[in-house]
Each structure stands twice: as structure tokens, then as C-alpha cells.
Amino acid sequence: MNRKMLQYVISWVLKMEGILMLLPALTGAVYREKEGLAYLLCGLCCVAAGFLLSRKKPENMELYPKDGYVAVALGWVVLSLFGCLPFMMTGEIPFFVDALFEIVSGFTTTGSSILTDVEALSHASLFWRSFSHWIGGMGVLVFILAVLPMKGGSVMNLMKAESPGPSVSKFVPRVRGTAKILYQIYIVMTLVLIACLLLSGMSLFESLTLSFGTAGTGGFSLLNSGCGTYTETQQWILTVGMILFGVNFNFYYLLLCKRFKAAVLSHEVRVYFLVILAAIGAICVDIRGVYDSMAETVRHAAFQVGSIITTTGYSTTDFNLWPEFSKTILLLLMFLGACAGSTGGGIKVSRVLILLKTVKKELMSIVHPRSVRQIQFDKRPVEHEVLRSINVFLTVYMTIFAASLLLVSMDEFSLETNFSAVAATFNNIGPGMGKVGPMGNFSVYSPLSKLVLTFDMLAGRLELFPMLILFSPSTWKKRG
């Protein structure tokens, strides 16, 4: 393993984080809060640590596949460890495990909180929480790739490890160019969302933080009541925003290149919208009568469905009080997740689609043992490697899920609470059901469970393998 190069990548993560921390510091200065100073101090610490680590540029800039995974996983762990410092320093979240849980929940765009009273936080901390969603949404290392020149296969190994989805597709030949295009689309879409919210009459601070949460499909809200108190227009803007950020960014690139036909033909995006419409329809029928008007019913159903399928986790109403059928639909959507190549989490629509096609093929080969059938996705054959990696992904996914559920259940909450808590963190959604529902929070869990859930969030965001490789002993042996 190329340890010097790992150190170099980590140093850049730290420098970047230090610079980004200046924004909450600025917010603190605007609102004249002393918490802003903590951010300034932590930011400087990060930059200093970064420079200390990168005194020497490594001679061998090569990152092998394993190094790519380790660099990404380690990068995220370091990012979280330094990111939680300001919370502890300001005294708003004094305990380390709590602070770590909160910031990991931010960076992984989960949005689960251990805070019982969000409104008591300073503006600087509220800003940092939401901003961490935005940073984590597209990926820290992708951003570093966009600005830092690196060599050949190395960059591909980093990109592969951080991007969500079964396979990475490059828009343009160079990884660097692809990373730039991704961030350009991301930034423009976020700006449009901020502008829309401002026009609808929201304050600047709220527009910024809510947009960051929506763009990264995170879901930290500013009020204890979630998004329930915003106007109808604002709720609709957020609904559309969430759903659009859950679409594969490939789709937007195709639109930009004016290749509309190819964009519309994207199987994944079509199924994604179909599932959303079907879920909204089913829930509307199920919860009719709970709200006063039809318009309100549709609005709440659409908001909740959009929030859960994109793994954002905002809420306008307490869906814990909905009938069981609707709750089950939401729970299933948690697992499905958004499109590959978006900022959302979960198993991803394309993985599920390919799995279903595999099942169909296997059924076929039972009936016609000699049949030959190549699985296609978007009119292209799916390579055997991809199929295998999806199967392995699902197996590992279930294993980690079961292990986490077992560990968390030691706290003796109901199965609904535990199951949904693990699902909500592992899929980077945010609120679960029962005690951890939209109006509840994760503060009830023991420190051990919080750590397990923290691991789940990171594993879920990085799609399992980087975290597993980081924590497997053979990675850190000198030889092997």
C-alpha cells in the first residue's frame, strides 16, 4: 500500500475541510455569535494539520485499487472526526459520540439527529450541519479530483470508491473533467433551488440551509417541527427539488448535450419516476380522510414519498400516525433509494432493476435449461463483473444490516423502532418510525448503538466496500 500517497490525499481532505469551515464562521460573524470563533479556530486547525501532513509531495503518486478504497474510507473518517470538533468546542453537543453521530449524519447526507431541541443551536452550527450535507452529497474526494491533478489509474480508483451505483460512467475521457461537470451541475441546480425558495418569501438563511439539505438529499431541518410550518408553495418547491436531486446526474448531462432521446430512454430514471407516482397514488388513497382537503393529502403524500425515496428525510407531517399500509410503502422505499449517480442513498433503482432482470433470467433457465440470455440495461449488455458485484453487494448489505440490528436491539426498544433506525441510517435517510420517527430523534440510544449506527451511515454512503476494506486487518498488515 502506498502510505505516503494516502497521507497526501488525507492532507488535501483536511485543507479542504478547513476552508469550508470558514463559511459557518462567517455566518457566526454575521449573526454576531461567539460560536463563529470556534469554527474559525477549527478551520485553521484543519488547514494547519493538512499542511503538516503534506510537507512532502510523494514521489510515487500511484494509487492501486485497494489504496483507492482505503483513501476514500479514511478520508471520510478523518473528515468526520475533524468535522465534529466545533460542536464539542461550542459546547452545543458536548459528548464525542453524539457530536460524531451528528456530523457523520451530516456528511453522509443521512439527517438523523441526536438533538432534542434543534432550535437552540446557534446559526453557525445550523449552517455547518446543513452545509455538511451539501459537501457530502457529491463527495469530498470527487471535489478534490476536480481541483487536484493526479495520475492515470489512481483517479479512477478514487472515483470508483466514492461514487454511488453499480458502475461508474464517465461523461468525458478524463476523470477530472467528469468531476468538474458533476460539480457544475450540482452547483447550478443548488443555486436555482435557493433562488426559488427566496422568491417564495423564505429568509436567506433558511433558503440556504434548506437548499443544502435538499441538494445533498440530507434532511437536517431547522425547526423541531420539521418542514410542517412552511407554506404550501415552499413545500412543493422542496418536494420537486428533492426528487430532482435523486435523479442520475447522467440524465442532466445528456440534457445539457441536447441528447434528449437518450435521456428520456434512460430505464432507471423512468422507473424512478414511475415508482414515485405509484407510491404517491397508493398513499393518497390510503390516507384519504386524515387531512381536510384533497390538495393537502396529495401535498403531504408527495412530500413524504419524495423525501423518503431520495433518502432526504425532511417531513411535513408525522407519518408515524399514518395507516400501516402507507408506513410500509415508505419503509420499502427506504430500501429502494434513489438513482445511481445521484446524491441519494439506498440500494439504488438500477441495482434493483438489474437484480430483477437476473431473477427473470434464472427463472427462464429453469424452464428452458439450455437457454442463453444476455442481460441488458439501457440497450447495453451488463457485464458479468457488474452482476457479480451487485449480488455480493446485496449479500454484504443484508449481513451488515442483520448485525447492526442485533447490536442495536440490545437497547430494548420495539422491533419497529430498531428496524427502522438501522434502515434509516444505513440508507442515509434520516427519520425512521416509532421512537425515531419524524418527530422523535436518536438521542434515546446508548453510545454503543450510536457508534454502530454511525458506522452504518458511513458504510451506506460509501456503498459498503470501502469501510469493510478499511476495517479489515489484512489492509494494515505490512505485507500481504
Interface residue list for another protein (CB under 8 A): 65, 151-153, 155-156, 170, 172-177, 383, 385
CB atoms within 10 A of CB 233: 14
Nearest CA to 313 among 113, 63, 176, 177?
A: 113
Residue with cell 428496524: 419
Nearest 5°: the CA angle 458, 460, 461 is 65
**CB closer to another protein, 232 vs 385:** 385
What DSSP assignment string belongs to 344-355? Answer: --SS-HHHHHHH
**CB closer to another protein, 3 vs 174:** 174
**CB closer to another protein, 65 vs 434:** 65
| Residue 347 and residue 280 in contact, taking contact as beta carbons nearer than 8 Å | no
Q: In the complex, what is the shortest distance from the CB of residue 145 to another protein, in angstroms, rounded to a whole number?
A: 10
Cell numbers describing residue 270: 423512468
Say how far apart CA 360 and CA 342 lie, in whole Å: 27
**CB closer to another protein, 152 vs 323:** 152
- Which stretches of 21-95 are DSSP H helices? 22-30, 35-53, 65-83, 85-90
Q: Which contacts of 250-253 are long-range, i.e. CB under 8 A and separated by 24 or more positions?
A: 250/169, 250/171, 250/341, 251/339, 252/185, 252/189, 253/171, 253/181, 253/185
Q: In the complex, what is the shortest distance from the CB of residue 175 to another protein, in angstroms, rounded to a whole number?
A: 5
Q: In the complex, what is the shortest distance from the CB of residue 170 to another protein, in angstroms, rounded to a whole number?
A: 5
Phi-psi region of 201 (alpha: psi -120 to 50; beta: other; left: phi over 0): left
| Residue 436 and residue 424 in contact, taking contact as beta carbons nearer than 8 Å | yes
What's the distance, CA 478 to chain centroid? Answer: 33
**CB closer to another protein, 157 vs 297:** 157
Q: In the complex, what is the shortest distance from the CB of residue 187 to another protein, in angstroms, rounded to a whole number?
A: 22
Q: In the complex, what is the shortest distance from the CB of residue 36 to another protein, in angstroms, rounded to a whole number?
A: 36
Residue with cell 437536517: 220
Which run of H or of E encompasses 452?
A: helix 447-461
Q: 380 - beta bridge partners?
A: 377
Q: In the complex, what is the shortest distance from the CB of residue 179 to another protein, in angstroms, rounded to a whole number?
A: 11
Nearest CA to 393 among 354, 351, 436, 441?
A: 351
**CB closer to another protein, 173 vs 369:** 173
Collect all residues with Cβ–Cβ distance below 8 Å to 212 and sequence separation of at least 6.
130, 131, 133, 134, 190, 218
Say how far apart CA 84 and CA 92 lie, in whole Å: 11
Q: In the complex, what is the shortest distance from the CB of residue 177 to another protein, in angstroms, rounded to a whole number?
A: 7
**CB closer to another protein, 155 vs 464:** 155
Q: What is the dihedral of CA 317, 323, 326, 329, to 10 degrees?
A: 120
Q: In the complex, what is the shortest distance from the CB of residue 7 to another protein, in angstroms, rounded to a whole number?
A: 21
Q: In the complex, what is the shortest distance from the CB of residue 270 to another protein, in angstroms, rounded to a whole number?
A: 21
Q: In the complex, what is the shortest distance from the CB of residue 466 to another protein, in angstroms, rounded to a whole number?
A: 17
> With b meaning 16 or more CB within 10 Å and e meaning fewer, what string describes 357-392?
beeeeeeeeeeeeeeeeebebeeeebeeebbebbee
Say how far apart CA 351 and CA 354 lie, in whole Å: 5
**CB closer to another protein, 151 vs 388:** 151
**CB closer to another protein, 31 vs 377:** 377
Q: In the complex, what is the shortest distance from the CB of residue 65 to another protein, in angstroms, rounded to a whole number?
A: 8
3-class SS of residue 377 = strand
**CB closer to another protein, 64 vs 96:** 64
Q: In the complex, what is the shortest distance from the CB of residue 63 to another protein, in angstroms, rounded to a whole number?
A: 12
Q: In the complex, what is the shortest distance from the CB of residue 156 to another protein, in angstroms, rounded to a whole number?
A: 6
Q: How far is CA 372 from CA 111, 186, 300, 369, 390, in A?
A: 45, 42, 47, 9, 21
| Residue 314 and residue 221 in contact, taking contact as beta carbons nearer than 8 Å | yes
